[in-house]
């Protein structure tokens, strides 16, 4: 049975007239050099905002970040350890050589970011160059100017210092422009740190540079070995790595700390744990081991323990969780650990005053690293 039709007007009432929508006035397109570019530029329109977001709030001066000033404090100890290993005393030539090394170190930092600017735009957009706070040309110019200043200071320190400084500058530029992304990269960085120690040695005794280099080479090799381990880990600090990489660095730190702080010329620790490895014994026996007073041995041991504690724990944590965050922390700690290592080498060589002065820099290095990342 069908229902009778109903009157629509009786239920809904009369339909109100619809007001017509006003036509939309078309907006003229803005002239651009590309679909998403700013006027007169090939840069994406949202690039400035993306760069601004990449820079963390409270960021320090871009030049302080570019030059890694928190890592700069690890440089003077290289030369002072070299002076102590050579059996000399710091003087005017050492001061000039130290100034040279500081300039070359900072030149390497500026050149590194200039060479990595495309990679950093993806992996580390907060860095000064990809964030737009420093122009690439300015960074390259700073690297060139600092290199020239470093070589001039090395020349003022004497011919042996100039020769060592030239080799150091060549190593820095070769590393940043080519070797860094090859298998030889960590070895090149280790050579640079080794040359820095030798620079201090020849500045202390330029007339006997050949003999001086031989005496300082074991200490330089230990600092170079530590640098090799830290640099190897740093190659994966932005992406993450396997546990094997930081674990191997942890082993290197333990071995270096044992050599510097626990091994005597007799191949033991004077009542502590003896060392039986022939290679470790030979390296320890080659190290300067004069103890002119009762402070030298305990200071060397204390500095070696501080070195191991500073570097070993972060590498062990990174081995448990090799994430970029923990790897970067381990690399930063490895850089700071160079200072107590330099202090241990200086004290072992018979310069406890130099070792104590270097240990006094450790708190300053820790505070600076909280303000400006050393990596």
| pLDDT at residue 375 is higher than 80 | no
For the chain, domains (ranges, CATH) are 60-276+293-367 (1.10.357.140)
- Residue 210 has phi, psi (to 5 degrees) of -65, -50
Using DSSP, state whether 35 is helix, strand or coil: coil
pLDDT of the residue at 326: 93
- Helix, strand, coil % in the chain, rounded to nearest 5: 65, 0, 35
- Residue 37 has phi, psi (to 5 degrees) of -100, 155
| pLDDT at residue 36 is higher than 50 | no
Burial 219-252 (b: 16+ CB within 10 A, else e): bbbbbbbbbbbbbbbbbbbbeebeeebbeebbeb
| pLDDT at residue 124 is higher than 80 | yes
pLDDT of the residue at 162: 96
pLDDT of the residue at 151: 98
pLDDT of the residue at 210: 77
- CA atoms of 191 and 220, how far apart (whole Å): 9
Q: Which of the 8 DSSP states describes residue 207?
A: G
pLDDT of the residue at 109: 96
The CA dihedral of 257, 263, 265, 269, to the nearest 10 degrees, is 160
Residue that is written with structure tokens 């965050």 in the block: 325
Residue that is written with structure tokens 């350890």 in the block: 81
pLDDT of the residue at 10: 40
The pLDDT-based confidence of 271 (bands split at 50, 70, 90) is: very low
- pLDDT 10s digits, 155-175: 999 999 999 999 999 999 999
pLDDT of the residue at 213: 86
The pLDDT-based confidence of 275 (bands split at 50, 70, 90) is: very low
What's the average model confidence in pLDDT over 142-146?
Answer: 98
Q: Which of 130-134, 269-273, 350-354 has the highest mean pLDDT?
A: 130-134
| pLDDT at residue 148 is higher than 70 | yes
Average pLDDT, the chain: 81
| pLDDT at residue 290 is higher than 60 | no
| pLDDT at residue 25 is higher than 80 | no
- pLDDT 10s digits, 322-362: 999 999 999 999 999 999 999 999 999 989 999 999 999 99
pLDDT of the residue at 55: 53
Q: Do residues 269 and 310 lie in contact, with contact meaning Cβ atoms separated by under 8 Å?
A: no
Greater pLDDT, 289 or 299:
299
- pLDDT 10s digits, 42-92: 344 444 444 444 454 445 689 999 998 888 999 999 999 999 999 888 999
pLDDT of the residue at 282: 54
DSSP code string of 258-315: HHHHH--TTSS-SSS-----HHHHHHHHHS-----STTHHHHHHHHHHHHHHHHHHHH
| pLDDT at residue 1 is higher than 50 | no
Greater pLDDT, 76 or 268:
76
pLDDT of the residue at 30: 41
Q: Which of the 8 DSSP states describes residue 206?
A: G
């Amino acid at each position: 049975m069908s229902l009778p039709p109903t009157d629509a007007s009786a239920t809904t009432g009369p339909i109100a007239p619809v007001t017509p929508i006003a036509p939309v006035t078309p907006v003229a397109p803005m002239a651009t050099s590309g679909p998403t570019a700013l006027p007169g530029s090939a840069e994406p329109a949202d690039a400035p905002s993306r760069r601004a977001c990449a820079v963390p709030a409270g960021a320090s001066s871009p030049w302080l970040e570019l030059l890694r000033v928190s890592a700069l404090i690890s440089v003077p100890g290289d030369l002072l350890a070299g002076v102590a290993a050579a059996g000399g005393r710091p003087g005017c030539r050492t001061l000039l050589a130290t100034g040279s090394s500081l300039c070359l170190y900072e030149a390497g930092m500026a050149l590194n970011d200039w060479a990595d600017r495309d990679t950093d735009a993806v992996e580390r957009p907060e860095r000064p160059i990809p964030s737009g706070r420093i122009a690439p040309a300015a960074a390259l110019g700073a690297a060139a100017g600092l290199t020239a200043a470093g070589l001039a200071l090395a020349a003022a320190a004497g011919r042996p210092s100039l020769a060592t400084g030239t080799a150091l500058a060549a190593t820095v530029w070769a590393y940043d422009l080519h070797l860094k992304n090859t298998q030889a990269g960590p070895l090149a960085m280790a050579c640079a740190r080794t040359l820095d120690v030798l620079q201090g040695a020849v500045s202390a005794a330029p007339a006997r540079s050949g003999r001086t280099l031989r005496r300082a080479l074991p200490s330089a090799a230990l600092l170079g070995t530590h640098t090799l381990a830290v640099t190897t880990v740093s190659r994966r600090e932005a992406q993450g790595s396997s546990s094997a990489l930081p674990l191997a660095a942890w082993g290197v730190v333990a071995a270096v700390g044992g050599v510097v702080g626990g091994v005597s010329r007799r191949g033991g620790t004077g009542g502590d744990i003896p060392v039986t490895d022939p290679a470790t014994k030979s390296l320890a026996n080659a190290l300067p081991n004069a103890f002119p007073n009762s402070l030298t041995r305990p200071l060397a041991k204390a500095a070696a323990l501080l070195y191991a504690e500073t570097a070993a724990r972060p590498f062990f944590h990174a081995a448990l969780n090799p994430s970029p965050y923990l790897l970067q922390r381990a690399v930063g700690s490895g850089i700071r650990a160079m200072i107590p290592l330099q202090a241990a080498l200086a004290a072992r060589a018979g310069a406890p005053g130099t070792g104590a002065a270097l240990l006094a820099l450790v708190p300053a290095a820790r505070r600076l690293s909280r303000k400006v990342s050393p990596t």
